[in-house]
Amino acid sequence: MTRTWWKKGVVYQIYPRSFMDSNGDGVGDLAGIAGKADYIASLGVDIVWLNPVYRSPNKDNGYDISDYEGIMEEFGTMADLDRLVAALHERGIRVIMDLVVNHSSDQHPWFLESRSSKASPKRDWYIWKPARAGGPPNNWKACFTGSAWELDPGSGEYYLHLFDPSQPDFNWENPELRKAVYAMMRRWFERGIDGFRMDVATLFSKDPSYRDLTPAEGMFSSTAPYVYGPRLHEFIREMRREALDGFDAMTVGEAPGSTVENALELVGEGRGELDMLFQFELMGIDHVNGDKWRQRPIEVPEMKSIVERWQLGLAGRAWNSNYLMNHDQPRSVSRFGDAALYRNESAKALLLLNLSLGGTPYIYQGEELGMANVAFDSISDYRDVDTLNYHKEALAAGVPEAEAMRSIHYMSRDNARTPMQWSAGRNAGFTEGLPWIGVNPDCAKVNAEAEEADGASVLHFTRAMTAFRRKHPSLVYGSFELLAREDTRLFAFLRVGEGESLLVEINMSSETIRSEAPSRAATTLISSLGPALPVGTPAPGTLAPWEARVSALS
Ligand code: NOJ
């Protein structure tokens, strides 16, 4: 396998709307992020991924873009962006941006033109179809509710939107559209950015049959007619040639519908397509029948088997990206840990897991503090279109309000989007104004200022773990072997290579459990229990609740 900066780097994901507000309007902004550049650098991360900062009507918080080369007014100006990129570059941190080109906003001039008449030269840049039997062209559903087709009364035709009606899908079959996208990407690289996270990159190519989904196919099944569609690889390879070659850029595709098998075709080394992808198998682990609003408990052996499948499946052939949360998912400590009784301990344990796997680790803002889910009492405190649509639909279908709210408390995307908790002060130190979404009331306890002052905090452990990964190349390039496969509490594996053999153990439970270490003559190198444990001495025979550690095998 080749060695590159994005393989050994750790990524920190920033959701600009919720990171830091510099001007008191209640919305995070670019100058706010720049003001925290030293904090970001102190985490020991190498790459920052910025969620969309482009002009947008904000129906889906910036994933509905109306100008790919303009900055959202609430976030600042292009000069602010340049300053932020420079501030991060000065600190040795590269910057990747979000590329959202499966769809645009319905307010993008291209769509306005496309919609204006059937004869418009841009008509074909989006996907227009006549009605079928007086209704939508097929049975495809939109991700956030309802049909994926919206009738345009002007022309009597429907346009496709796999997400909100305000997010019409591009027609990637059109070469002019593709050219415009590549030219825009090149201009961003010339401006100095270091790569892209590509929104729903597996959905660009639609099967020209526009056949119905079968009853067995979920929205993002690998066989759905718009998932890994017939021309996807051709488009991505063309994008690589036209927009990426010549730049030292990193690409990571958000990749619904990925299995190890189809992933190898998109990110396999030497395929000339993408560098990495985000698969969803772990994120679907607690869904019932693929429905994120119906949840079941997480089984540790299942979690381990998903991780193992990807670690081994891509080994030597492609590069993994590892994440336990992002802006679309619940807080990792609330979902995979024990936020109620062992918040600090389990947040550290999960960080150790994420930073010990093969592949590039992604840390989401606040994860380094152990920020947890929020539970607003009223739906009126929620902002996310997906959450609001679900609530409306569930109530209409007769789901009791309390049950719908329980599901929202667990799964809403707004769990990840409440403001970053900088201090115990007003609005958690995020804004002087009225925040666009409420602050999690636990900020009195969970905040960066308090954690700076506490040597045993999640924040200090995050720094220790990024430094540890840097010193131990086997965590980046070593092999992976899962241990204790059936154990329902212990998540243990070996990382071997680069002249070292490491044993990684995470106690995924609130009980004291037996460690693998004694039978393997291991010495502890780092433990989530911190300096209280004599590091470097023989690893003890047990792991405390949610303890995680890495030991060296002799
Ligand atoms: C995935 C993004 O991560 C999510 O936030 C967005 O709503 C959809 N793609 C649509 O762009």
Residue nearest to ligand 1 atom 2, measured at CA: 199
- Token pair 């796999």 in the structure block, residue: 162
Report the alpha-carbon angle 260-263-264, nearest 5.
90
> 63 and 30, same structural domain?
yes
| Same domain for 200 and 61 | yes
Is 344 contained in some domain?
A: yes
- Quote the tokens at residue 113: 């033109």
Residues 265 and 143 grouped into a single domain: no
23-70, pLDDT tens digit by residue?
Answer: 999 999 999 999 999 999 999 999 999 999 999 999 999 999 999 999
CA distance 398 to 404: 10
* Nearest atom within ligand 1 for CA of residue 144: 7
Q: Are residues 141 and 270 in the same domain?
A: no
Which residue out of 199, 278, 321, 326 has the highest number of ligand 1 atoms within 8 Å of its CB and is therefore the one to mutate? Answer: 199
The average confidence (pLDDT) of the chain is 97
Q: Measured between alpha carbons, how far is 406 from 400 in angstroms, rounded to an integer?
A: 10
DSSP 154: T
Q: Which helix (H) or strand (E) holds 482?
A: strand 479-483
Please report the pLDDT score of residue 89 as a whole number.
98
Q: With respect to residue 431, please indicate whether it lies within any of the assigned structural domains.
A: yes
Candidate from 100, 162, 170, 415 with most ligand 1 atoms within 8 A of CB, to mutate: 100
Note whether 62 and 141 are same-domain residues: no
Q: Quick count: other Cβ atoms within 10 Å of Cβ 453?
A: 10
Contacts of 466 (CB under 8 A, 6+ apart): 10, 43, 44, 45, 355
Is the pLDDT score of 213 beyond 80?
yes
The answer to whether 317 and 264 are in contact (CB under 8 A) is yes
CA distance 90 to 540: 43
Backbone angles phi, psi at 141, to 5 degrees: -105, 150
Half-sphere exposure in the Cβ direction for 267 (13 Å, CA):
29
pLDDT at 539 over 80: no
What CATH number is attached to the domain comprising 521? 2.60.40.1180
Ligand 1 centroid distance, CA of 345 (Å)? 31
Residue at 485: amino acid letter? R
* Substitution candidate for ligand 1 out of 17, 18, 63, 204 with most atoms within 8 A of CB: 63
Residue 264 CA to ligand 1 center (angstroms) comes to 23
Q: Above 70 in pLDDT, residue 393?
A: yes
- Listed in order, strand segments (DSSP E) in 132-214 are 149-152, 157-160, 195-198
The region of weakest confidence among 286-295, 302-311, 510-519, 525-534 is 525-534
pTM of the entire predicted model: 0.98
Do both 202 and 244 map to the same domain?
Answer: yes
Cα(199) to centroid of ligand 1, in Å? 6
Pocket of ligand 1 (CB under 6 A): 60, 63, 100, 163, 199-200, 254, 327-328
Please tell me the distance between residue 476's alpha carbon and the centre of ligand 1 in angstroms.
29
**In Å, what is the CA distance from 304 to each residue of 299, 310, 312?**
9, 10, 12
Q: Is 216 part of any domain?
A: yes
Q: Please give the tally of structural domains in the chain.
A: 3
Give Rg (Cα) of the chain: 23
Atom of ligand 1 nearest to the CA of 100: 11
Could you give the residue ranges of the DSSP H alpha helices within 295-363? 300-314, 332-335, 343-354
Ligand 1: which residue has its CA nearest to atom 4? 328
Return the DSSP state at 297. P
Tens-place pLDDT, residues 68-127: 999 999 999 999 999 999 999 999 999 999 999 999 999 999 999 999 999 999 999 999
- Token reading at 498: 């680069």
Do residue 309 and residue 447 come from a single domain?
yes
Alpha helices in 211-299 (DSSP H): 232-239, 260-267
CA angle 275, 75, 466 (to 5 degrees): 45
| Residue 435 contacts residue 349 (beta carbons within 8 Å) | no
Intra-chain end-to-end CA distance of the chain, in Å: 26
199 is catalytic: yes
Q: Which atom of ligand 1 is nearest to the CA of 63?
A: 11
Distance of CA 63 from the midpoint of ligand 1 (Å): 6
Nearest alpha carbon, ligand 1 atom 6: 63
Q: Has 254 been annotated as catalytic?
A: yes
89 shares its domain with 228: yes
pLDDT confidence band for 530 (50 / 70 / 90): confident
CA of 99 to the centre of ligand 1 (A): 11
> Which ligand 1 atom is at minimum distance from the Cα of 64?
11
Find the CATH number of the domain harbouring 181.
3.20.20.80
Task: Kindly give the distance from the C-alpha atom of residue 454 to the centroid of ligand 1, in angstroms, as a whole number.
Answer: 36
For residues 222 and 529, the model is more confident at 222
User: Which residue is closest in CA terms to ligand 1's atom 11?
Assistant: 63
Task: Check 21, 60, 157, 199 and give the catalytic one.
Answer: 199
Q: pLDDT digit string (tens) for 278-295?
A: 999 999 999 999 999 999
Q: How far apart are CA 108 and CA 71, in angstroms?
A: 14
CATH of the domain at 134: 3.90.400.10
Note the pLDDT of residue 521: 84
Ligand 1 pocket: which of 60, 321, 325, 386 to mutate (most atoms <8 Å of CB)?
Answer: 60
CA of 326, closest atom in ligand 1:
3
Q: Are residues 114 and 75 in the same domain?
A: no
Catalytic residue selected from 164, 254, 273, 414? 254
How long a stretch of residues is the chain? 554
> Residue 293: inside a domain, yes or no?
yes
Q: Is the pLDDT of residue 308 over 90?
A: yes
Query: Could you tell me if 392 and 399 are in contact, meaning their C-beta atoms sit under 8 angstroms apart?
Result: no
- 60 Cα nearest atom in ligand 1: 7
Q: Helix, strand, coil % (nearest 5) of the chain?
A: 35, 20, 45
Q: Is 548 helix (H, G, I), strand (E, B) or coil?
A: strand
Q: What is the pLDDT of residue 26?
A: 98
Whole-number Å distance, alpha carbon 97 to ligand 1 midpoint, is 14
Same domain for 56 and 189, yes or no, is: yes
Residue 307 within any structural domain of the chain: yes
Instruction: Mention every residue, 6+ apart, whose C-beta is less than 8 A from residue 86.
Output: none
Measured over the CA atoms of residue 405, residue 406, residue 407 and residue 412, the dihedral's sign is: positive
Dihedral of CA atoms 310, 6, 42, 551 in degrees, nearest 10, equals 40
Sorting pLDDT into bands at 50, 70 and 90, what band is 534?
A: low
User: For residue 188, is it within any domain?
Assistant: yes
Indicate which atom in ligand 1 lies nearest the CA of residue 102: 11
Give the single-character DSSP code of 67: E
Task: Give the lowest-confidence range in 236-240, 365-369, 516-520.
Answer: 516-520
Report how far residue 63's alpha carbon sits from residue 162's, in angstroms, rounded to the nearest whole number. 12
Residue 197 near residue 97 (C-beta atoms within 8 A): yes
pLDDT band at 532 (very low <50, low <70, confident <90, very high): low
Domain contains 406: no
Amino acid in the structure at residue 468: F
Say if residue 239's pLDDT is above 80.
yes
Q: Which domain holds residue 527?
A: 479-553
Give the per-residue pLDDT at 518: 83
**Matching residue, tokens 């010990």:** 356
The band of 465, judged by pLDDT with boundaries at 50, 70 and 90, is very high
**One domain for residues 345 and 450:** yes
Q: Does residue 414 lie within any of the structural domains?
A: no
Mean pLDDT of 178-197: 98
Assess whether 116 and 86 both reside in one domain: no
Q: Separation of 163 CA from ligand 1 center, angstroms? A: 8
For a substitution probing ligand 1, which of 49, 143, 163 has the most ligand atoms within 8 Å of its CB? 163
